[in-house]
Structure 1
Amino acid sequence: MKVVFVLALAALVSAGPNRPKVADIVVKNVKWEPSPRIINGHEAVPHSLPYMVHLLFVASSSAWMCGGALISENYILTATHCGRGAERVYVTLGVHNTSAAEPTQVKQTVPGANIKLHEEYGSDSVANDIAVIRLNSPVSLTDAIQIVGLPTRADVENDYLNAVATASGWGSTDGYEFKVSDVLNYIVVRVISDRECQDAFAPVIPPKTLCTSGEHLTSVCAGDSGSPLVTDGVVIGVSAFVSTHCQARFPSGWTRVTDFLDWIADNTDVEIANK
């Protein structure tokens, strides 16, 4: 039986003919299509994940939502497929409820020129799906706005197998009916082996990918694209792809951050520690 996969593309907020998409592209008999959902998550304690950033990307006639992680006072880590085609991005830091005027929130409207996409990302593959956004001005750190750690160079050989990590986002809670969440949700997931991921998805998983289990019927999805996978205060993955309709028993795919430490250092003000 042919297994169908999808990118966890940014959840559409307002449709339009110019919105970026990776629909109907077939790679080795695998069809990648957008589909929104975070499955069986729990509402986070407000501001308990202070590195989380809400991102609303805007083009001429469309807008779409993603997540990101603050990695310095000046830069946000997210996914390239989130930033493609964007003319600007509305950034909100220190947010828990996107529909509320929380006093902790800090907002910036960042031009598309400040979005740095990975040069080797292609629409026919999920490889190299990583990007950074430079803020207009440095953000002041507060209890609700904090920087997440990055792996060190000593972590490059760490596959994080069986590590327990937290995934979070404001994505939809239903893969069949578009319902984004106003409040930040999270799930706790386990990192699985490349082999286990390939067994579920067929042998088409791109290099530099990390996968998490769909056990306990949990999954991330489209509005959660670009959001971080965090263990022990360190971001080890960027949300990239999931199964069709984000089926909860299937793994979720993440861009493996340890494979991009040099790229992050070259394109941000972050200094990667040796150990």
Structure 2
Amino acid sequence: MMSFLLLVLTAAVAHALQPLQGYHEAAGIPQAARIQAEEQAVANSRIIGGIQVNAGAHPYLGGLIISLVDGRSSICGSSMLSNTKAVTAAHCWWDGRTQARQFTVVYGSDRLFSGGTRVVTSNVELHEGFNPVTYSNDIAMITHPAVQYTAYIGPVQLPTGTSQYVDTWAVAVGYGRSSNDLMVSEAMDKRQVTLHVISNANCRLTWGANLVLNGVLCTSSVSGMSVCAGDAGGPLVAGSGTARTLIGIVSFGADAGCSLGFPAAHTRVTHYVTWINARID
């Protein structure tokens, strides 16, 4: 009996530590419906816990409303690099099961489905090495119609050098869900959370060497706060104010839930900065 229970427990833990597969079906589509319903209900999407922020706090954040080829809607985040370019996670466009048709990029708004400046595009370039099973090379470049910079809309800096950012405190921001449940609440504005960057060696203790490659950067949750469903593709930044630097792109977390203390994985921007610069010059 003890052996059987151990096997069951081991299997449960292994399942809990699987990265979220089929992002749109599992997270993006239900989160899009929930956030839209919340915004309409309160008449006026999400980091786990975190601090509610106003529209001008992170002017580089671009919310993504994703129109899928089957007619449904999903959501992600992105980071503005110029007035015509933004970077996101590749799995926001193609998650291995579901294909996007177009992005509506939302800038300068504290809500995803209303307000701000909105541009529509289907011009999305995935990294040629993207693998939707392992989430390796999980990065994509968005090209969209030009938008005007304002106090609420502006680009984020790219990193220089090869810093690993271990032990850095970084800020993630997004419209994803605010808890593991899907209860409707009135706190539907974009939120930010401060996370601790951990070493890849430490992260591999949870996710394994096959997932935590050199192009991955991991953060640990703090007091139950982390990135969650709907935050995929969004920014992880270091620094403060106008000196904020994009160091990560939200990639994946545990299938079992995002407030359980497992590390979150981000695309490491320093690893891809040459690829990025070749597409914004």
Q: Which string of whole-angstrom CA distances, capped at 9 and with x for unpartnered residues, describes residues 196-245 of structure 1? A: 11122344333111000113211112200000100011000000011121
Match of 1:92 in 2: 106
Q: 1:221 to 1:74 in 2, by over 3 A?
A: same
Tell me what 2:237 maps to. Answer: 230
Matches of 1:202 and 1:125 in 2, distance apart?
A: 11
Q: Is 2:91 the counterpart of 1:75?
A: no
The runs of 4+ residues in structure 1 deviating greater than 6 Å are none
Partner of residue 160 from structure 1, selected from 165, 169, 186 = 165
Distance 1:55 1:99 in 2: 10
Equivalent position amino acid for 1:229 in 2: L
User: SS of 1:125's equivalent?
Assistant: coil
- Report deviation, 1:14: 6.2
Matches within 5 A, 1:181-220: 182-207=188-213, 208-220=215-227
Counterpart of 1:5? 18
Name the counterpart of 2:174.
169
SS at structure 2 position matched to 1:222:
coil
> Distance in 2 between the 1:240 and 1:98 partners?
20
Shift of 1:179: 5.4
Query: What secondary structure is seen at the aligned counterpart in 2 of 1:5?
Result: coil
Aligned equivalents of 1:65 and 1:226: distance in 2?
A: 9
State the partner residue of 1:273.
Answer: none
Give the strand-richer structure, 1 or 2: 1
Mapped contact 1:172–1:179 kept (Cα < 8 A): no
- Count of aligned positions: 240
Partner SS state of residue 166, structure 2: coil
Q: Which residue of 2 aligns with 1:241?
A: 252
Contact 1:117 1:131 in 2 (8 A): yes
What secondary structure sits across from 1:53 in the alignment? strand
- Structure 1's 37 and 106: CA in aligned 2 closer, same or farther, altered over 3 A? closer
Q: Residue 118 of structure 2 is aligned with which of 81, 104, 107?
A: 107
Structure 2 CA distance, aligned partners of 1:179 and 1:150?
A: 36
2:128 and 2:208 mapped to 1: Cα distance? 26
Identity of aligned residues (%): 30
Between 58-67 and 162-171, the greater mean CA deviation after superposition: 58-67
Task: For 2:89 and 2:106, locate their aligned partners in 1 and report how far apart those are by CA, in whole Å.
Answer: 17
CA–CA distance in structure 2, aligned partners of residues 149 and 178 of structure 1: 36
2:274 to 240, 249, 262: 262
- Larger radius of gyration, structure 1 or 2? 2
Partner residue in 2 for 1:33 = none
Per the normalisation by structure 1, the TM-score is 0.81
* Counterpart for residue 64 of structure 1: 74
Measure the CA separation in 1 of the matches of 2:30 and 2:228. Answer: 18
Give, in whole Å, the separation in 1 of the partners of 2:20 and 2:144: 26
1:39 equivalenced with 2:48 (yes/no): yes
More helix by share: 2
- Deviation for aligned residue 1:37: 5.9
Give the 3 Å change call, closer, same or farther, for CA 223–178 of structure 1 in structure 2.
farther
- Give unmatched runs, 5+ long, in structure 2: 1-9, 32-44
The CA RMSD measured in Å over matched residues stands at 2.1
- 1:144-171 CA-to-partner distances (Å, cap 9, x unmatched) read 001100012xx22x11011111001000
CA separation of 1:140 and 1:187: change in aligned 2, threshold 3 A: same
TM-score by length of 2: 0.79
Aligned mates of 1:69, 1:212 — CA distance in 2: 18
> 2:127 — aligned with what?
118
Counterpart CA distance in 2 for 1:98 and 1:160 is 30
